[in-house]
Amino acid sequence: MGSFCLLRSRCLPRQVGLPLVMHRQYSLDISAQLLRTQGYVNGQWINAPSTFPVLDPATGEEIAKVADCGPAEAKLAVDAAYKAFYSWKQHTAKERSVLLRKWYDLLTLNKEDLAKLITFECGKPMKESLGEIAYAAGFLEWFSEEARRVYGDVVPSAAKDRKILLLKQPVGVASIITPWNFPSAMITRKVGAALAAGCTVVVKPAEDTPLSALALAELASQAGIPAGVFNVVPCSREKTPSVGTVLCTDPLVGKVSFTGSTATGKILLKHAADTVKRVSMELGGHAPFIVFDSADVDKAVAGAMNSKFRNSGQTCVCSNRFLVQSRIHDCFIEKLGKAMDAELRLGHGSDPNTTQGPLINVRASEKVEHQVMDAVSRGAKVLRGGKRLDGSFHQPTLLADVTTDMLCTREETFGPLLPVIRFSTEAEALAIANASHVGLAGYFFSQDVSQIWRVAENLEVGMVGVNEGLLSTPEASFGGVKQSGLGREGSKYGIEEYLDVKYMCFGGLTP
């Protein structure tokens, strides 16, 4: 198998906070088979009339030019998926299970190359990218097993001459629209469930990270997933609205699954409403992280580091608002600052010493800068970091004396900003934590068992981490309440999102 090596020759200008490692050359050295730049429709690699560039967010340099699919290619993909659905749903659950397992095995076998793709197009440190590939493969493994556990029901009938059966059947073609921050795992979490249920899919990856999706398509082909079952239509930011419209309005599509911002989710919901499609929406978060007086402070600091700075704060479940009770506030702040000094290192994700890569683009870095400036103008103190650096880098930042009128406590940051609010009572903390129109994840640290039950039940979120800063796993349900979305992914409930329940009344029987 050949390899593809892309040299990165650009060096970032010297600036405070960026290490000398940023002045080296970097190369994306992976199997040529996995660096795909065309769309993938009906088992074939297809071109589009134009291309768009994929950039390394750490350097701004071009990694590749990818086919810029439009509405026509999206329609071809939907048609291919619709045609393939009628044969794919006839595969037995075991047959689908075996193919998903082969796909899982190939992800595991190629984990190093897949992780390199994530690092270069998304900016994650290599260690985190490897973790994402393990996470992504885990969904294929999980749903390969769940494929054989789709059970219907036999319901006792009130009439002696009838039998009541409830059957579960796949909904049809599913449009899968995924974000850039987990370019592999967000695909497999959705597609694994869909294919296990007997659905076929059309994937539209984020314009920033299409290479990971196309590499998954190559491995799906190698695993023997039939033509038309898994399709990928990459497109630029400019063509995203028109492609998205096709995927959400075409009458042949039976289901739309989207992960992204709440604002975009609302637009897609409106599109899907005209043909009354099934929808799953995993939307924005604004997670509270509460540290009570009874908490083990060292564990709370470790949890805060994991929850906030993974992927440089660019996850939908990362903590956004840190609430620390008065008695331990100063101790927590001091230990957290020392942990940031000891553990966080900015740089290119391919350098083994890097723990904080770039943000996905300059706009993301500017948003963090704006929130820091707003907080400082309202009285917050910068204890660590606080500066936007060259390109899309931003220093990990710790703010104290934060109040609820500041922008960073009212909107999702999606960056390495950690604002700390002091509170006095449990009731006050819950009121602040729940004062949001979204409710995806929440975290708190306490050693008071009664308090743990009270707070876990009263936090208005879909997922709660108790004395834990990382909670995502294929075995558990993932989803939010309020305007954080609809439906659940992962767990035994994830496959239900791709199934219809059909009632069959079998009458005329002789008792």
What single string gives the DSSP state of each residue in 254-323? EEEEEES-HHHHHHHHHHHHTTT-EEEEE----EEEEE-TTS-HHHHHHHHHHHHHGGGG-STTSEEEEE
Helix (H, G, I), strand (E, B) or coil at 496: helix
Of the candidates 269, 50, 327, 41, the one whose C-alpha atom is nearest the C-alpha of residue 173 is 41
Strand extents, DSSP E, 125-266: 153-155, 163-170, 173-177, 200-204, 230-232, 253-259
Degrees (nearest 5) of the Cα angle 39, 41, 47? 35
| Helix (H) or strand (E) run with residue 54 in it | strand 51-55
Name the residue with tokens 């001091």: 334
User: Which residues carry out catalysis?
Assistant: 282, 316
Provide the β-strand partners of residue 153.
Answer: 166
Residue 355 CA, distance from chain mean position: 19
Contacts of 403 (CB under 8 A, 6+ apart): 378, 379, 380, 409, 421
Residue 438 CA, distance from chain mean position: 16
Provide the β-strand partners of residue 287.
Answer: 319
Rounded (10°) angle between helices 126-146 and 111-122: 120
Contact 178, 186 (CB under 8 A): yes
Name the residue with tokens 């419209």: 245
As given in the structure block, the two tokens for residue 213 are 């999706």
As given in the structure block, the two tokens for residue 330 are 């100063």
